[in-house]
C-alpha cells in the first residue's frame, strides 16, 4: 500500500510539472505574439507617416518646379533669346570649321551611297538578265523584230513591183499599139497588189 501511494504521488508530481511547463510555454508564446503585434502596429504607423511625408514632398516639388518655370520665363528666356541672336549674327570660327568638316563627311557619305546604289543596280540587272522572264522576253522581241523586218521587206518589194512592173504594163496595154492586153496583164498579176492594207500594218508593228 505504501508503495502504491508513493507511486501515485510521483505520478501526480510529474503531471504537475508537465502542466506547469506547458503553461510557461503557452505564456511565452502569448508574450511573443503581443510583442509581434506591437511591432506590426509600429511599422504600420511608420509606413503611413512615410506616405504622408512623401505626398507632402511631392507637392512641394511640384510647387517649386512651377516657380522655377515662371522664373525662367521671366528672366532666363529673354536673355537666352538675345544670346542666340548674337550668336547667329556673329558665328565663330569653330562652327565654320565644324561645318566644313560636316560638309566633307556628307560628301563622302553621298559618294558611298551612290556607289552602293550603282552596285546594287548592277546586281539587279544581272539577276534579271539571267532570269527566265528575261529569256522569254528576248525570244518575244526577236520574233517581233523578225516579223517587222519581213513585213518591211515585203512592202518594199511590193512597192517595187507595182511601180516598176504593174503600172508600166497597164500603161502599155492602154496605149495605141499595146504589146499586151489588159486581160494578159491581169492573168500575169492575178493577185491585187495593194500597198494600202500593208503599210498601216507595217507601221503598227514598228510602233510596237
Provide mean pLDDT across the span 166-187: 82
- Helix (H, G, I), strand (E, B), or coil: what is residue 162? helix
pLDDT at 118: 92
Length of the chain as a residue count: 208
Average pLDDT of the residues of the chain: 76
Asked if residue 7 has pLDDT above 60, the reply is no
Distance, CA of 81 to CA of 108 (rounded, Å): 35
pLDDT at 2: 45
Task: For residue 148, give the nearest of 72, 206, 64, 67 by alpha carbon.
Answer: 206
Confidence of residue 191 (pLDDT cuts 50, 70, 90): low
Determine contact, residues 206/148, Cβ cutoff 8 Å. Answer: yes
Residue 191 Ramachandran class (φ > 0 left, ψ -120 to 50 alpha, else beta): beta
Distance, CA of 179 to CA of 169 (rounded, Å): 9
pLDDT digits (tens, 9 = 90+) for 74-132: 766 666 677 667 666 555 545 555 678 888 888 888 888 899 999 999 999 989 888 88
Block residue for cell numbers 522655377: 68
H or E element that contains 134:
helix 132-161
pLDDT digits (tens, 9 = 90+) for 36-62: 888 888 888 888 888 888 888 788 888
DSSP one-letter string for 46-95: HHHHHHHHHHHHHHHHHHHHHHHHHHIIIIIHHHHHHHHHHHHHS--HHH
Which grid cell is 144? 517581233
Asked if residue 1 has pLDDT above 60, the reply is no
Strand ranges (E), the chain: none
Determine contact, residues 199/155, Cβ cutoff 8 Å. Answer: yes
In the chain, where are the structural domains located? 1-78
- Minimum mean pLDDT range among 115-124, 173-182, 188-197: 188-197
pTM of the entire predicted model: 0.36
Determine contact, residues 173/180, Cβ cutoff 8 Å. Answer: yes
Amino acid at each position: 500500500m505504501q508503495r502504491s501511494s508513493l507511486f501515485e504521488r510521483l505520478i501526480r508530481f510529474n503531471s504537475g510539472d508537465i502542466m506547469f511547463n506547458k503553461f510557461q510555454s503557452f505564456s511565452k508564446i502569448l508574450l511573443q505574439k503581443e510583442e509581434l503585434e506591437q511591432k506590426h502596429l509600429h511599422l504600420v504607423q511608420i509606413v503611413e507617416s512615410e506616405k504622408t511625408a512623401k505626398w507632402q514632398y511631392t507637392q512641394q516639388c511640384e510647387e517649386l518646379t512651377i516657380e522655377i518655370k515662371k522664373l525662367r520665363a521671366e528672366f532666363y528666356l529673354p536673355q537666352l533669346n538675345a544670346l542666340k541672336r548674337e550668336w547667329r549674327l556673329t558665328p565663330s570660327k569653330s562652327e565654320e570649321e565644324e561645318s566644313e568638316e560636316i560638309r566633307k563627311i556628307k560628301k563622302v557619305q553621298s559618294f558611298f551611297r551612290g556607289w552602293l546604289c550603282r552596285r546594287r543596280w548592277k546586281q539587279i540587272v544581272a539577276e534579271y538578265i539571267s532570269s527566265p522572264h528575261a529569256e522569254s522576253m528576248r525570244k518575244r522581241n526577236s520574233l517581233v523584230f523578225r516579223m517587222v523586218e519581213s513585213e518591211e521587206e515585203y512592202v518594199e518589194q511590193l512597192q517595187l513591183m507595182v511601180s516598176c512592173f504593174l503600172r508600166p504594163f497597164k500603161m502599155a496595154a492602154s496605149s495605141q499599139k499595146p504589146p499586151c492586153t489588159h486581160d494578159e496583164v491581169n492573168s500575169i498579176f492575178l493577185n491585187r497588189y495593194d500597198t494600202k492594207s500593208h503599210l498601216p500594218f507595217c507601221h503598227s508593228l514598228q510602233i510596237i
